[in-house]
Structure 1
Amino acid sequence: MGLFQPDAGRGCSDGAPVKGFFTAGPTDDGDAVTGHYYEVASPDPARAQVWIYPAALSYAPGEVLVLHAMSSAPEATLTITRDGAHPEVMLKTRLATRFAPTPFAASESGCDWPEVLRLAIPDDWQSGVYRLKVAIPGHASEGMFVLRAQSPQAKILMLLTTGTWCAYNDWGGSNHYQGLTGPAQGDFAAHVSLLRPWATGFVAWPDGAPRIPHASALLTKPRYPHMDYARARGISKKYASSGWAAFERPFALWCEGQGIALDYATQHDLHRNRGALDGYDRVLIVGHDEYWTWQMRDHLEGWLDRGGQLARFAGNFFWQTRLSDDLATQTCFKTTAEVADPLAHTDRITSYWDHPAIGRPAAATMGLTGAAGVYAGWSRCAAHGSGGFAIYRPAHWALRGTGLGYGDVLGAAAKIFAYEVDGIDYTMHHGLPFAAKDVGLQGDLTIVGLSPATALSHHTGPHDRDRFIGAGDAEDLALRIYGGITPEAVARAAQGNGCMAEYRRGKGAVFNAASCEWVAGLIERERAVEHVTRNILLGDWA
């Protein structure tokens, strides 16, 4: 295994400098959107730097927290803080540290840095997300771990979307989107490791950073202000796509302000523990839950069928993944799965959940699927749409007390219907949407609201052609799900929607507010969005 050689001060291919510990990849074109730049430790032992990561995503009180770090200094300050509206410092101490090289494939197989701390977690530490700040003169960085409760302390559990966090984390150069793999060191990584730091922007939201929704002027090339911002300031280009800071943290802060208590666990906990959700009245998922293992679905469905209620303010239920036995490595071959995945000829192929080879439609679990929805509010993907959910069933309990009527739009001011959404094939009867037949449902689906979405970034010519999303996603969905890249199949893949919908499965239920950006309505304190959120979290589901 080689070591990473280029120093972090190197410029982009167009001469524009990268910031801080970011470097340009071998295939970088210098563009904030299509380019490949990433954060990584410097190979220079004299350069001031300090980095940290835990040996696991989550712990419980009484378990031993294990931290790994490297630094140019012989000593670093560690501060452990329980995150929240009023962050609580739980520990401040000094760590003995030393420089250690960073493997070239750290994103895939981990950093293998020295262990610097073992701490038996006190029994009185509350469930939550704990930030790890390490600092030396001239540099500081942050990590995090999740503390789950030994037994339920709150009625609601926030299930953190750690499968997607891992997929998007690009620290070290590779994630499930871009990477340093392949002959030209420019392919995405099918395997990503937890044993590395989180990229800047995943733990703490950057000051003044824009969210993803943006409507570029018609007949111009679409731009992505969040990625322009990130490259200009030395932040991960995926900061707004995933991570604690982007979605779950602002939702948790809103809950705290409303007096709604939460416990916390990770998707990885759900994967390894069939009973991870037991004892909770409701489970809450927020933001971007794109990546799931077979076992996660098994354990969630079992809890639902026994009477659990899932409040899902999230979108893009899409890919099957696999986890290593130690939970440290996530695998997803994505669009290369048919030829590259060793399990390609089984139902564990790491492709779309709606891939025919898997035989387990996404809608069976959630009632909706990312393959019928995908993008809205950015690029050329319904970017000039309403930004909210058009209401079709205003008498539904989720809307009780809002004053909304048929045809009103919920959340348009804050653009809650944006980024990535989940939908379902449907028919209209007397002005009301109903789920189509044979879409994989295992119970009744009631569509409360919906708006259009698409997998296709449309264009009228070279002057407004998008180089980021383009037609690739719609064509791949057409190929793998709808039988081939034909005009009819591409149109079917491109004509999607996103839904607010109640799905009854077994003795339980899922309420989908199926958009990644629902939390924007809470950030902006949009009254009707807050009211619906309270109805779903606290109200009677009848």
Structure 2
Amino acid sequence: MTEGPGPAITPRTRARARHILDHYYIGPARDPRVLEVWGYTPRMSYVPGDEVVLHVSTTAERWSFEVGRDGLRYEPLLQMDDLPGHHRDTPADCSVTGCGWPESARFTVPDDWRPGGYLITLRAERDGDRIEEHHLILIRRARHLPPAPYVLVCATGTWVAYNCWGGSNHYEGITGPDGNAFSPVLSTQRPWTRGFCKLPPGAPRALPELPQKPGEMVRYPYMEWAYAYGYSKKYASSGWASYERPFARWAEAEDRDFDFATLHNLDSDPDLLSRHRCAIFVGHDEYWSARMRDAVDAFVEEGGKVARLAGNFLWQTRIENQGRNQICYKYTAEHDPKAKGSTPHLTTAAWEVAPVNRPGALTFGVNALRGVYAGLGRCVGNGPGGFTVYRPGHWGFANTGLGYGDQLGAGSRIFGYEVDGLDYRMDDGLPYPACTDGAVPEIVILAMGLATSIENDTGAWGETLYIGATDAEFKAKALFGAVTPETLDASARGNGMIIHWQKGRGEIFTAATCEWVMGLTRGDAQVIAVTRNVLDRFGSGQTSTDQAS
């Protein structure tokens, strides 16, 4: 199978990568002597007939771009060469306010372009040295065409949240009184950070392929790799290349008829899902607006089916300024203007906490604060890597050969790096929702595994923990009102679940883990069988009465 165009790694390219990674984020060198090319599009998705405008800054005299469909095989479709280059001034706070670059080129999306992910590759050359920057446009089928049974909704809320290009994201940045704080306001009018749209083969994932070895210093191979090759350390946490692309390629190989959309599409067009039988969410799907979530709830109540093969449904956001800004105050939610306004439920905080009080279990059957880390660093670092099966008779496990207590996906390491779960009780060896956290008795727990919010400190000399106890402290305060030894202990324990739920006239199947896609990519026959079972049933419109309780 052929891939898209890859970067030419030259001595000058490597020197540039080291320069940029003197700080944690990717961004412009602001030095015309450094060869670079960056660009962005005003929107994330387009339909046939739309004009796509490219805003590009480069230190080269001439530049070019290629557009190709990034499916099972990379298909180059459009090439424009010998375009005049311009090095644009970039505001210091571009990650918050946007780059504001003028138009550099444009093209119209042809009617015959199929739904899918489209990679735009920008190229600039000088003295034989080449730099590339990659962008993704998600093409969704025009409304005059017959709707596909399935629509893959890409987690663009999380893409924006992790995009560090220009200095800030929803985690860390150049903002705040000390110039070192996350930004609650992010702009979509800037390039994607390196690694979100395209990755070379072999790029490590956040969840390592093998468990941590006892007695050895903990490692985070994906961060080491990112530093060595000039990629953002957030590449493994979000983006088309790490999550939606593997699923889209697998689905295309299965010859399934898919349409494509973004979470931002749901925010602006809440009726979009009604054209399809089954909405699919994959990967790391952490940041949603209330309007996005409302669209899914309405879809399911009216008979729609949802396959959520994704983890970490945690933060409420707001999309403002016609999609140009994403808002999420997170840990400082009391500073959100909505917190003291007439609509405090729209405060950009965790779903499960006041004043939002809208647990994720009400939509997808699981909650983020009841799960979180598995397999990352020393957070369940020696765990099995899969789900323990409790209800093997459920239709989701048909043709898998799995029995009670078996592990699903351990060999392909699908459990992590962040998972969602529930408070639960055990009765005769079977888990049931405790219904203390927004869950309802109709939710059927099919499989589960253990997670934690505290990274285990083994006391290894020289070791620095990445996760530590910060998340557990936030969870303790959010769920119990204070951080004490008792609440911290309770907050350390979590889980990740596979659940099935007949809700309203529709159905939900959730495998609450970021890494489900790796079961497909690594050819895990049992994970593939479960995925086929869900898509076959949900794509056909069939309703299950088999709860296998």
User: What TM-score results when the alignment is normalised by the length of structure 1?
Assistant: 0.92
Equivalent position to 1:353, from 339, 351, 354: 351
CA deviation after TM superposition for structure 1 residue 221, in Å: 4.0
Find the counterpart in structure 2 of residue 6 from structure 1.
Answer: none
1:115 equivalent in alignment to 2:103: yes
- From the superposition, tell whether residues 88 and 17 of structure 1 become closer, same or farther in structure 2 (CA, over 3 Å): closer
Equivalent position to 1:145, from 126, 137, 143: 137
Is the 8 Å Cα contact of residues 413 and 515 (structure 2) preserved in structure 1? yes
CA deviation after TM superposition for structure 1 residue 76, in Å: 1.3
- From the superposition, tell whether residues 479 and 220 of structure 1 become closer, same or farther in structure 2 (CA, over 3 Å): farther
Rounded to whole Å, the distance in 1 between the matches of 2:482 and 2:326 is 29
The one-letter code of the counterpart of 1:430 is D
Rounded to whole Å, the distance in 1 between the matches of 2:19 and 2:71 is 28
Superposition map of 1:414-425 within 5 A: 414-425=412-423
Secondary structure at the counterpart of residue 402 of structure 1: coil
1:58 equivalent in alignment to 2:45: yes
Secondary structure at the counterpart of residue 311 of structure 1: strand
Bigger Cα displacement from structure 2, 389-398 vs 16-25: 16-25
User: What TM-score results when the alignment is normalised by the length of structure 2?
Assistant: 0.91
Find the counterpart in structure 1 of residue 447 from structure 2.
Answer: 449
Secondary structure at the counterpart of residue 249 of structure 1: helix
Superposition map of 1:183-222 within 5 A: 183-214=177-208, 215-222=211-218
Is the 8 Å Cα contact of residues 399 and 532 (structure 1) preserved in structure 2? yes
How many residues end up aligned between the 2 structures?
515
The one-letter code of the counterpart of 1:334 is K
Rounded to whole Å, the distance in 2 between the matches of 1:481 and 1:323 is 26
Rounded to whole Å, the distance in 1 between the matches of 2:436 and 2:181 is 36
- From the superposition, tell whether residues 220 and 167 of structure 1 become closer, same or farther in structure 2 (CA, over 3 Å): same
Is the 8 Å Cα contact of residues 442 and 505 (structure 1) preserved in structure 2? no
Superposition map of 1:275-286 within 5 A: 275-286=271-282
The one-letter code of the counterpart of 1:319 is W
Rounded to whole Å, the distance in 1 between the matches of 2:257 and 2:28 is 38
Rounded to whole Å, the distance in 1 between the matches of 2:532 and 2:314 is 27
CA-atom RMSD, angstroms? 1.7
CA deviation after TM superposition for structure 1 residue 172, in Å: 1.2
Find the counterpart in structure 2 of residue 245 from structure 1.
Answer: 241
Find the counterpart in structure 2 of residue 102 from structure 1.
Answer: 90
Rounded to whole Å, the distance in 2 between the matches of 1:314 and 1:140 is 30
Superposition map of 1:82-93 within 5 A: 82-93=69-80
Find the counterpart in structure 2 of residue 510 from structure 1.
Answer: 508
Equivalent position to 2:266, from 264, 270, 273: 270
Question: Runs of 5+ in structure 2 lacking a partner?
Answer: 1-13, 545-549
1:341 equivalent in alignment to 2:336: yes
1:367 equivalent in alignment to 2:365: yes
Rounded to whole Å, the distance in 1 between the matches of 2:265 and 2:64 is 30
Deviations 1:479-527 (A, max 9, x none): 1222111222222221110001012221111101111011111111011
- From the superposition, tell whether residues 116 and 17 of structure 1 become closer, same or farther in structure 2 (CA, over 3 Å): closer
Find the counterpart in structure 2 of residue 129 from structure 1.
Answer: 117
Secondary structure at the counterpart of residue 320 of structure 1: strand
Is the 8 Å Cα contact of residues 381 and 454 (structure 1) preserved in structure 2? yes
Is the 8 Å Cα contact of residues 458 and 465 (structure 1) preserved in structure 2? no
1:78 equivalent in alignment to 2:74: no
Secondary structure at the counterpart of residue 451 of structure 1: strand
Rounded to whole Å, the distance in 1 between the matches of 2:422 and 2:413 is 21
The one-letter code of the counterpart of 2:378 is R
Secondary structure at the counterpart of residue 295 of structure 2: helix
- From the superposition, tell whether residues 18 and 132 of structure 1 become closer, same or farther in structure 2 (CA, over 3 Å): closer
Secondary structure at the counterpart of residue 489 of structure 1: helix
Rounded to whole Å, the distance in 1 between the matches of 2:321 and 2:181 is 25
Secondary structure at the counterpart of residue 78 of structure 1: strand
Rounded to whole Å, the distance in 2 between the matches of 1:483 and 1:140 is 49
The one-letter code of the counterpart of 1:329 is N
CA deviation after TM superposition for structure 1 residue 153, in Å: 3.7
Is the 8 Å Cα contact of residues 147 and 275 (structure 2) preserved in structure 1? no
Question: Runs of 5+ in structure 1 lacking a partner?
Answer: 1-15, 26-36
CA deviation after TM superposition for structure 1 residue 460, in Å: 4.0
1:236 equivalent in alignment to 2:223: no
Rounded to whole Å, the distance in 1 between the matches of 2:55 and 2:415 is 39
CA deviation after TM superposition for structure 1 residue 21, in Å: 5.9
Is the 8 Å Cα contact of residues 316 and 370 (structure 1) preserved in structure 2? yes
CA deviation after TM superposition for structure 1 residue 118, in Å: 2.9
Find the counterpart in structure 1 of residue 313 from structure 2.
Answer: 317
Rounded to whole Å, the distance in 2 between the matches of 1:528 and 1:541 is 22
Is the 8 Å Cα contact of residues 433 and 440 (structure 2) preserved in structure 1? no
Secondary structure at the counterpart of residue 516 of structure 1: coil
Bigger Cα displacement from structure 2, 292-301 vs 176-185: 176-185
Deviations 1:461-495 (A, max 9, x none): 36486532101100111112221112222222211
Rounded to whole Å, the distance in 1 between the matches of 2:248 and 2:135 is 18
Find the counterpart in structure 2 of residue 169 from structure 1.
Answer: 163
Is the 8 Å Cα contact of residues 18 and 232 (structure 1) preserved in structure 2? no
Is the 8 Å Cα contact of residues 415 and 520 (structure 1) preserved in structure 2? yes
Deviations 1:354-382 (A, max 9, x none): 01211211111111011100000121111
Is the 8 Å Cα contact of residues 171 and 198 (structure 1) preserved in structure 2? yes
Secondary structure at the counterpart of residue 344 of structure 1: helix
Rounded to whole Å, the distance in 1 between the matches of 2:19 and 2:55 is 19
CA deviation after TM superposition for structure 1 residue 202, in Å: 0.6
CA deviation after TM superposition for structure 1 residue 443, in Å: 6.7
Deviations 1:128-157 (A, max 9, x none): 111111112132211111111123542110
